[in-house]
């Protein structure tokens, strides 16, 4: 009898943990795949690096940027970003401006395999990244 009670208790604890499990972490290196539903500009690489302490950095496609992210239980909020101010060809500048706007609009995240999805307040996709090695 005692063995059955112990097994049931372990099962109950395991089930409760699975239901309250935190989402996968967005910490790591990411390469921009798309903004909203649109693909990235051909030949323009935008990156996002999220450190365990919440520091963020990367390249928008033209300029380097830095900032912070507050991350918790599927929520994410990026601080205003500081960026260099070089001028680049139109597609790179446009993608960079859209990326910065997407990061500012992000309120939630989801890690889906090797993809990081940033979602806005309404749950709409604002940016999609793939894990960078």
Distances (CA, A) of 13 to 16, 23, 100, 112: 5, 19, 42, 26
Q: What does the pLDDT read at residue 37?
A: 85
Report the 10 Å Cβ neighbour count for 8. Answer: 10
Domains of the chain: 24-131 (2.40.128.270)
Q: Which residues pair with 68 in a beta bridge?
A: 55
pLDDT tens, the chain, 133 aa long: 444 444 444 444 444 444 545 569 999 999 999 999 899 999 999 999 999 999 999 999 999 999 999 999 999 999 999 999 999 999 999 999 999 999 999 999 999 999 999 999 999 999 999 998 6
Query: What is the pTM for the complete model shown?
Result: 0.82
Identify the burial level of 33 via C-beta atoms within 10 angstroms of its C-beta, where 0-12 means exposed, 13-18 middle and 19 or more buried.
middle
Q: Say if CB 56 and CB 70 are below 8 A apart.
A: no
Choose among 42, 88, 49: nearest CA to 69.
49
Q: What does the pLDDT read at residue 9?
A: 44
Q: What does the pLDDT read at residue 61?
A: 95
């Amino acid at each position: 009898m005692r063995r059955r009670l112990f097994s049931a208790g372990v099962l109950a604890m395991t089930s409760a943990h699975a239901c309250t499990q935190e989402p996968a972490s967005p910490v790591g290196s990411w390469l921009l795949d798309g903004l909203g539903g649109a693909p990235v500009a051909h030949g323009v690489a935008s990156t996002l690096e999220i450190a365990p302490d919440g520091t963020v950095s990367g390249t928008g496609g033209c300029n380097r940027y830095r900032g912070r992210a507050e991350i918790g239980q599927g929520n994410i909020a990026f601080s205003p970003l500081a960026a260099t101010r070089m001028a680049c060809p139109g597609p790179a500048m446009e993608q960079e401006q859209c990326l910065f706007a997407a990061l500012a609009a992000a309120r939630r995240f989801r890690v889906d395999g090797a993809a990081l999805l940033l979602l806005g307040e309404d749950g709409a996709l604002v940016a999609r990244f793939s894990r960078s090695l």
